[in-house]
């Protein structure tokens, strides 16, 4: 090593790019050579100035914008295809399949693919028999009340059309008297 | 001969005593508050057969969390013709129903359609008498505060359940004509289940015949509606007709009894309908052995769980329909009772 350190050597020292042995020699020399020490400090301040200038030129998202971006990412729903794909991952698919088999086993006997009886039939029959009670408001108001009660779902017409309880208009209400 | 004379005198004396006794008891019955209340109740039930009127009737029926209200203009000609013309809700506005005896003619002005149905219970005097008898057995009529309803002075009666002491119904009776001008029904917890009252009322015998005309207007289609069966009190025969062994409730609210039944085929399903009543309130228990569940259609059912049963229920005003299955039978229980009261009955429907 010469009496004074070169600029290239000082820069490599600053960037911690020297081999350990050379790094140790430079370190010792800077402790004893005032001129090299001054040169080192000039190089160090210049490097710091360059870093600061580079940092100032970096553009960051405002924190609010960044928060919204992250929120969108977290709330983003996977596409239907991705969801189906996720379902078929073995860890999910196997328990789901098992649950489905179990549900079919339980519900199977209760499933009602056959005939059903309209709830409105039960309500109307009950209301008709209530007409026997002496203080019941007479007349067919009850069936109208049934229709009225369904008005929230805008289905009064549908219910009125169900007077045949879901079967042919000829009627299969075959009363046995 | 003297013996015959003595017998005749004795018989005459007995008849006289019986006559005096009966008239005395009637007089006492009508002079005591309870006797007067019972007499008023009977007269109020018969009043529509004797008075004709026009008016406006408002009805509110309360579910557990909402209410349905209707307003009808009503014209009634004694003894058995009535027209109800809907003013509200808007969806029913303009529709009207004419009742003549047991026949109903429902005029749907939006679909230009007349639906004709029959309900023999409407004018069954026997059924009405039986119901009245049950009312007097299970309820105590109590005179309450008088009031003015639709501009007319009324006498108010509260019908108290004799077993529970609960107020089940209150009616306001026109002091002159004895027509019921207002009625409130109550649930077991005291809440109002329904209210019906006249807002306007005018007694008149001059209602034009045309009001009760049942001919379909031009352009209207006439369709056959539901012909309701007259339930039979011969329960054994009805059960035989059903073709399966039914299960009946082991526990009912006090005063309720099985009064009639009917076996019907609905949508190909043999269905047994048993009617329980305490005179004022009724419960219908339907069951079938064909596995036919209830189709709630546009009435979204709620799920309720009891005694290992996943049951479903819907409310129509104060009326609740509860369905479940047990031992291969499908049940539907309908009544103007609180949901928990119906569930208690349903729990007792076990073999």
**pLDDT at position A62 over 70:** no
Domain boundaries, chain A: 1-83, 119-164
End-to-end CA distance of chain A: 124
Write out chain A residues lying below 8 Å of B84, CB-based: 139, 141
pLDDT of residue A170: 24
Q: What is the Cα–Cα distance from A149 to A114, expressed in whole angstroms? A: 27
pLDDT digits (tens, 9 = 90+) for A71-89: 676 666 666 666 665 555 5
pLDDT digits (tens, 9 = 90+) for B201-256: 999 999 999 999 999 999 999 999 888 878 888 999 999 999 999 999 999 999 99
Are A70 and A62 contacting, i.e. CB atoms less than 8 angstroms apart? Answer: no
Please give the average per-residue pLDDT across A46-52, as a whole number: 81
pLDDT of residue A91: 58
The reply to whether ipTM tops 0.95 is no
Chain A interface includes B273 (CB < 8 A): yes
Percent of chain A at pLDDT > 90 equals 3
Cβ distance A148 to B68 less than 8 Å, yes or no, reads yes
Chain B interface includes A127 (CB < 8 A): yes
Q: Please name the member of A112, A128, A138 whose beta carbon is closest to the beta carbon of B293.
A: A112
User: Higher-confidence residue: B315 or A50?
Assistant: B315
Q: What is the Cα–Cα distance from B278 to B257, expressed in whole angstroms? A: 6
Q: Cα distance from A103 to chain B (closest Cα, Å)? A: 14
Q: Which fold has domain A1-83?
A: Arc Repressor Mutant, subunit A (1.10.10)
Q: Is B11 exposed, middle or buried (0-12, 13-18, 19+ CB in 10 A)?
A: exposed
Residue ranges in chain B modelled with pLDDT below 50: 1, 28
- CATH class assigned to B229-347: alpha beta
Q: Please name the member of A135, A147, A174 whose beta carbon is closest to the beta carbon of B169.
A: A135
pLDDT of residue A20: 82
pLDDT of residue A149: 40
Closest CA to A117 of B325, B292, B302: B292
Which range among A1-5, A88-92, B227-231 has the greatest average pLDDT?
B227-231
What backbone phi and psi angles, to 5 degrees, belong to A92?
Answer: -95, -45
Same fold, B43-225 and B229-347: no
pLDDT of residue A88: 55
pLDDT of residue A136: 76
Three-state DSSP class for residue A111: coil
Question: Of the ranges A41-45, A153-157, B54-58, which one carries the lowest mean pLDDT score?
Answer: A153-157
Which range among A28-42, A71-85, A93-107, B79-93 has the greatest average pLDDT?
B79-93
pLDDT digits (tens, 9 = 90+) for B29-53: 556 888 889 999 999 999 999 999 9
Cβ distance B82 to A165 less than 8 Å, yes or no, reads no
Write out chain A residues lying below 8 Å of B183, CB-based: 135, 137
Strands B221-227 and B113-118: parallel
Residue A32 pLDDT grade (very low, low, confident, very high; cuts 50, 70, 90):
confident
Write out chain B residues lying below 8 Å of A175, CB-based: 227-229, 262, 264
Chain B interface includes A129 (CB < 8 A): yes
pLDDT of residue B23: 55
**pLDDT at position A110 over 50:** no
| Sign of the Cα pseudo-torsion (B70, B75, B76, B82, in order) | negative
pLDDT of residue A50: 83
Domain boundaries, chain B: 43-225, 229-347
Cβ distance A123 to B127 less than 8 Å, yes or no, reads no
Chain B interface includes A103 (CB < 8 A): no
Domain B43-225 = CATH 2.50.20.10: yes
């Amino acid at each position: 090593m010469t009496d004074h350190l070169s600029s290239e050597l000082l820069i490599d020292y600053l960037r911690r790019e020297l081999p350990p042995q050379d790094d140790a020699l430079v370190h010792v020399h800077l402790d004893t050579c005032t001129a090299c020490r001054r040169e080192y400090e000039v190089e160090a301040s210049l490097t710091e100035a360059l870093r600061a200038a580079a940092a100032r030129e970096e553009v960051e998202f405002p924190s609010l914008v960044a928060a919204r971006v992250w929120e969108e990412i977290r709330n983003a729903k996977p596409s239907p295809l991705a969801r189906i794909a996720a379902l078929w991952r073995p860890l999910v698919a196997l328990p789901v399949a098992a649950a489905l088999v179990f549900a079919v086993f339980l519900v199977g006997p209760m499933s009602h693919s056959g005939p059903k009886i309209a709830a409105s039939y039960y309500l109307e029959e009950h209301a008709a028999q209530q007409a026997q009670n002496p203080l019941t408001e007479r007349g067919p108001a009850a069936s109208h009340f049934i229709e009225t009660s369904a008005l929230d779902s805008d289905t009064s017409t549908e219910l009125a059309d169900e007077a045949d309880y879901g079967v042919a208009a000829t009627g299969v209400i075959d009363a046995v008297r | 001969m003297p013996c015959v004379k003595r017998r005749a005198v004795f018989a005459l004396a007995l008849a006289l005593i019986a006559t005096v006794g009966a008239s005395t008891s009637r007089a006492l019955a009508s002079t005591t508050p309870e006797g007067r209340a019972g007499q008023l109740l009977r007269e109020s039930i018969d009043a529509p057969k004797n008075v004709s009127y026009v008016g406006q009737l408002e009805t509110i029926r309360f579910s557990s969390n909402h209410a349905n209200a209707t307003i009808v203009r009503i014209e009634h000609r004694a003894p058995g013709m009535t027209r109800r013309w809907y003013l509200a809700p808007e969806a029913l506005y303009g529709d009207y129903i004419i009742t003549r005896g047991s026949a109903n003619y429902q005029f749907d002005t939006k679909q230009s359609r007349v639906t004709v149905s029959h309900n023999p219970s409407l004018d069954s005097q026997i059924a009405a008498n039986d119901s009245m008898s049950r009312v007097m057995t299970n309820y105590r009529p109590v005179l309450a505060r008088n009031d003015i309803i639709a501009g007319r002075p009324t006498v108010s009666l509260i019908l108290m359940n004799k077993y529970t002491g609960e107020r089940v119904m209150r009616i306001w009776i026109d002091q002159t004509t004895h027509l019921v001008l207002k009625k409130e029904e109550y649930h077991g917890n005291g809440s109002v289940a329904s209210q019906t009252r006249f807002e306007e009322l005018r007694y008149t015998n001059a209602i034009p015949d045309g009001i009760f005309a049942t001919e379909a207007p031009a352009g209207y289609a006439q369709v056959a509606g539901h012909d309701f069966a007259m339930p039979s009190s011969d329960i054994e025969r009805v059960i035989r007709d059903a073709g399966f062994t039914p299960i009946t409730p082991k526990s009912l609210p006090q005063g309720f009894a099985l009064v009639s039944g009917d076996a019907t085929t609905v949508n190909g399903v043999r269905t047994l309908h048993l009617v329980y009543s305490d005179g004022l309130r009724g419960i219908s228990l339907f069951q079938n052995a064909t596995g036919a569940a209830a189709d709630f259609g546009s009435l979204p059912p709620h799920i309720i769980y009891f005694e290992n049963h996943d049951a479903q229920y819907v409310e129509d005003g104060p009326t609740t329909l509860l369905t479940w299955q047990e031992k291969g039978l499908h049940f539907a229980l309908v009544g103007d009772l609180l949901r928990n009261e119906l569930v208690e009955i349903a729990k007792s429907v076990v073999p």
